[in-house]
Amino acid sequence: MGPTMTQSAAVAVIAAMITPALLILGSASLVASALMRMARLVDRARILAAVAHEGSWSKLGVTPDVLRGWLASHANRARHAGRSIALLYSAIVVFIATCLSIGADRAAGGSLGWWPVLLAVIGTLLMLGGGAYMVAESRASGKQINQEISNALSKLEKIKS
């Protein structure tokens, strides 16, 4: 250690730099979840698009209007998931910048002032926004699956009658 920083001060700086790592971990976990949901959306949308191109919607027991609605719902959900992914990746970048700014602040003798705190707040807000978009996507997913179940039950009732 140099003459300006004792060992305990260095440990404190390192500990402060590591603290945003927990936020990075949380953001990364949310990104993984959002990417998984997006992958499932893409797979299902491709199947529905193929059905639309083939004109084989009757195999699904739906009309073209119902299929169109499902595809529109998938597009909406994909927009929510995409926005969430972008915000959460941005949060990770900002949290990494937060870590670096804490070290830079110490190296600059505390001259960065509120920058590390401001970056942490911005990262947290980005994480909040990403989470909010995933809530919206999850709600749209629940609504869509309920519509699909209702459609299937309706078809089964017609067969039963």
- Residues 6+ away with beta carbon under 8 Å from 69: 147
* Number of Cα atoms under 13 Å in the Cβ half of residue 111: 4
- Which residue's structure tokens are 């002032």? 113
What tens-digit pLDDT sequence spans the chain (161 residues)? 445 566 677 777 777 777 888 889 999 999 999 999 999 999 999 999 999 999 998 888 889 999 999 999 999 999 999 999 999 999 999 999 999 998 888 888 888 888 998 999 999 999 999 999 999 999 999 999 998 899 888 888 888 77
At 89-136, the pLDDT tens digits run 999 999 999 999 988 888 888 888 889 989 999 999 999 999 999 999
Cα distance between residue 114 and residue 102, in whole Å: 10
